[in-house]
Amino acid sequence: MTENTADTAPDLDRLRAGAPPRNHDARTIAALTANPGCARRGVLDAAGVDKDAVARHLGFGTPFGQSQFALARGNAFEAQVKADGCAELLTLLRDRLGLAVAEVFYDDLAVEDGESREARHARTRRLLARALDSAEGTLFDHPMLRLDIAGHPAYLEPDVIAFQLGGRFHVVEIKSFAVVDGQAEPEQVAAAARQAAVYVLALRRLVAELGHDPARVAHEIFLVCPEDFSNRPSATPVDVRPQLAVLERQLARLTRVRDILADLPPDLSFALDEGLGDAVRAVGARYAPECVSGCEMAYFCRDEARACGATGVLGRGVRDDLGGVDTVGAALALARGTAEPPAELAETAALLRTAARLRREALGGAA
């Protein structure tokens, strides 16, 4: 545990008010990096708060994530590919892709009775160390990985397999969307690549911790999907280097949770009681319309942002262009010249007045 983690851990446990922490998965981390400046999301996620339960308690619940049908289909396809020690997956890698995957040890790291996340991570670490030293073919299923998110470790439970080929590990991402005539929906492939990049990064950091070259985790992952509307799996290599670069850059930019916690009331907690709304509002948010597709809190934050006229409601571009002008009302007052700007907003105010004059002229010309 890092010094930083040791400092923040008791505060983060208190924020959950006794509820067990929610584990991250690659989907939540990929979404987290979509709004790196949001302190509210940073704190809720770092503490492992169940954001879905919080939003529902506040009356802003929303069906979020995959449909039940898609989940059931995904689980069935994954179980099929992984059955009998991943027999179908191995056939696919050897016969269809022609890979010389050696005889493998199949290690299922799924949770054992009463096992903590830390103990499971330690088990993953031991098995990975053994595989790195022996360079023997090894398949890992359900490894428990860890990734530092905003100065706090997030545990990842990928339903994923890593296999070793020529001394390098490759991540296999199993998805239930169809590949038809060798083509899949580009957006779905991009989302799968973003998630796989999270696993590659977490595995690389673990390999580095174990004293090996992180490049032993390949940037080429294998995407396994059903082929041509059948249940027959196909495997496609995908280079996730661009997604890795974005992920590393955005994780480095995430607001440090310790700094945020220092400014919060010392007794703050997100217990599901009548004080929950005030507790959530005590942590600053950076709402933008993109939140609706990436965060369980989106409808609560949108309502709050609309009520105070936050510029983010108009989109991230408008908010960024307006810099330190936080509300639409303040922007209008500066544009009309009815408010005196502070020195640091003088340039923005001049631009707003110019834009307002041009608009008046254009409307006058049209009339």
> Residue 298 and residue 63: Cα distance in Å, rounded?
11
Closest to ligand SF4 by CB, 60 or 105 = 60
Interacting residues with ligand SF4 (CB under 6 A): 35, 38, 40-41, 285-287, 291, 295, 297-298, 301
Q: Residue 192 Cβ, how far from ligand SF4 at the closest point, in Å?
A: 22
Closest to ligand SF4 by CB, 240 or 291 = 291
Closest to ligand SF4 by CB, 31 or 197 = 31
Closest to ligand SF4 by CB, 139 or 291 = 291
Q: Return the structure tokens found at 249.
A: 């850059």
Q: Residue 37 Cβ, how far from ligand SF4 at the closest point, in Å?
A: 9
Q: Any alpha helices (H) in the chain, and if so which ranges? A: 3-15, 26-32, 39-46, 51-57, 68-91, 117-134, 186-209, 241-253, 257-262, 276-281, 298-307, 316-321, 328-336, 346-366
Q: Residue 276 Cβ, how far from ligand SF4 at the closest point, in Å?
A: 14
Q: Residue 35 Cβ, how far from ligand SF4 at the closest point, in Å?
A: 4
> Residue 339 and residue 322: Cα distance in Å, rounded?
15
**Could you tell me if 303 and 287 are in contact, meaning their C-beta atoms sit under 8 angstroms apart?**
no
Please list the residues that pair with 162 across neighbouring strands: 140, 171
> Residue 341 and residue 328: Cα distance in Å, rounded?
14
**Could you tell me if 337 and 353 are in contact, meaning their C-beta atoms sit under 8 angstroms apart?**
yes
Q: Residue 137 Cβ, how far from ligand SF4 at the closest point, in Å?
A: 41
Q: Residue 292 Cβ, how far from ligand SF4 at the closest point, in Å?
A: 8
Closest to ligand SF4 by CB, 38 or 223 = 38
Closest to ligand SF4 by CB, 271 or 339 = 271
> Residue 319 and residue 314: Cα distance in Å, rounded?
7
